[in-house]
């Protein structure tokens, strides 16, 4: 499964809950990249300035990260991707990676939250990339690069919509009902 939504829509929060309930790993590309930055690995050094500025890491780097992660033992039974794909190229790449492994997606869930609420949540969160101008850049990139994925997955019959502007428990219940 894939969780799709704007920065701050609650993908990470919900991915944890669904992962526990369905007993599949939640794979957050944002968390993986933040860990790489903290560890100062070669990948971390490459992506740090992009993330702080609210930009998107290039598609080839992300393909490497995701191909490696989906190939691990614990993802064999299923997985929940949080934050990937974020561009149409990444969506095509994901299809290729899964085809190589003889499997495909069951569902893509769009968590829908009004823009004013997204900004409010991100400002309350205070992560290194949660300054106001960075949040605006991440939202701009979301509209330009990631929103087209909604139509992409709708055309493939995979899209499910969930109202993300409710309590965390209600969002989780709606999500599990369509997962």
Tokens at 129, concatenated: 């990339």
User: What values do phi and psi take at 3, rounded to 5?
Assistant: -105, 125
Identified binder of ligand B4P from the candidate list 1, 10, 24, 119, rule CB under 6 A: 10
- If one asks whether residue 37 binds ligand B4P (CB under 6 A), the answer comes out as no
Q: How far is residue 110's CA from residue 149's CA, in Å, rounded to a whole number?
A: 10
- Contact between 69 and 27 (Cβ < 8 Å): yes
Active site residues: 11, 86, 125, 127, 138
- If one asks whether residue 7 binds ligand B4P (CB under 6 A), the answer comes out as yes
Identified binder of ligand B4P from the candidate list 18, 26, 83, 149, rule CB under 6 A: 83
Instruction: Tell me the per-residue interface mask from 104 to 143 with ligand B4P, x by CB under 6 A, - otherwise.
Output: -----------------x---x---x--------x-----
Instruction: Tell me whether residue 50 or residue 102 sits nearer to ligand B4P (CB atom).
Output: 50
**Hey, how many other C-beta atoms are within 10 angstroms of the C-beta on 155?**
9
Tokens at 92, concatenated: 């095509």
Instruction: Tell me the per-residue interface mask from 43 to 82 with ligand B4P, x by CB under 6 A, - otherwise.
Output: -------xx--xxxx----x--------------------
Beta bridge partners of 111: 162
Instruction: Tell me whether residue 41 or residue 102 sits nearer to ligand B4P (CB atom).
Output: 41
Instruction: Tell me whether residue 69 or residue 86 sits nearer to ligand B4P (CB atom).
Output: 86
- Contact between 96 and 154 (Cβ < 8 Å): no
Q: How far is residue 79's CA from residue 131's CA, in Å, rounded to a whole number?
A: 31
By CB atoms closer than 10 A (0-12, 13-18, 19+), residue 149 is buried
Site residues (vs ligand B4P, CB under 6 A): 5, 7-13, 28-30, 33, 50-51, 54-57, 62, 83-84, 86, 90, 121, 125, 129, 138, 167-168, 171
């Amino acid at each position: 499964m894939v969780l799709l939504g704007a920065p701050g829509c609650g993908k990470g929060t919900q991915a944890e809950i669904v992962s526990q309930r369905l007993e599949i790993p939640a794979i957050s590309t944002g968390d993986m990249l933040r860990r790489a930055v903290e560890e100062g690995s070669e990948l971390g050094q490459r992506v740090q300035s992009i993330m702080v500025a609210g930009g998107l890491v290039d598609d080839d780097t992300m393909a490497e990260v995701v191909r490696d992660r989906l190939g691990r033992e614990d993802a064999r039974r299923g997985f929940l991707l949080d934050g990937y794909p974020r561009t149409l190229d990444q969506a095509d790449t994901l299809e290729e990676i899964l085809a190589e492994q003889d499997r495909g997606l069951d569902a893509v869930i769009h968590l829908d939250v009004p823009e004013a609420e997204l900004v409010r949540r991100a400002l309350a969160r205070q992560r290194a990339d949660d300054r106001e101008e960075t949040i605006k850049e991440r939202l701009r990139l979301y509209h330009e690069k990631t929103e087209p994925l909604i139509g992409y997955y709708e055309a493939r019959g995979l899209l499910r919509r969930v109202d993300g502007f409710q309590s965390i428990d209600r969002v989780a219940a709606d999500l599990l009902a369509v997962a």
